[in-house]
Structure 1
Amino acid sequence: MISYNKGVFSPVPATFEGTGNSAFFCYFKAMFTVYALYSEKFDKIYIGFTSDLQKRLISHNELGTKGWTIKFRPWKLVYNLSVRYLPSSRNA
């Protein structure tokens, strides 16, 4: 188990219980992925962001029942970029 302070972007000391070791790291509330999909059949591109890329791809290609992307299936992932917090992902 790791203990840490819940500072958003501040480096904080962490202790790994049971090992006596400590580390210095940054704690971030969430990790996001900016992604681009391509529909070869319809020559369409879709750009989005998510915190769970695998589930989101399944939603775009299989599970989704409404929205713009269901009309242009199948989608292929052509680009993805992991970012530490959402404001960065919107500027990627």
Structure 2
Amino acid sequence: MTAVSIRQSGGANIISLPKTIVKLLGLHTGSQLDLTIQDNKILLTPIEESITLESLLAASPKECFAVTAEDREWIEARPVGKEDN
């Protein structure tokens, strides 16, 4: 068992999770936990994160979205067959 202390930060009371626990559970800064009270005990359960294209793109460096010369070629290329049908 690991003991943690309740601290105050601004208007919130907080606890810190030890790095070993965070690593063991595969959590990271920003991970969400479900907090429930059961038999007068606090239970924190990791919420499974679903990976979406939106979440992957949000974490990508913005410079990756810059239009390159090669992209511009594709954008401006005229159809050579029946692409526009």
**Which is higher, the Rg of structure 1 or of structure 2?**
2
Q: Which has the higher contact order (CA 8 A, sep 6+)?
A: 1
- Where on the TM-score scale, by shorter chain, does this alignment land: which range? under 0.3
Taking structure 1 as the reference length, the TM-score comes to: 0.19
Taking structure 2 as the reference length, the TM-score comes to: 0.20
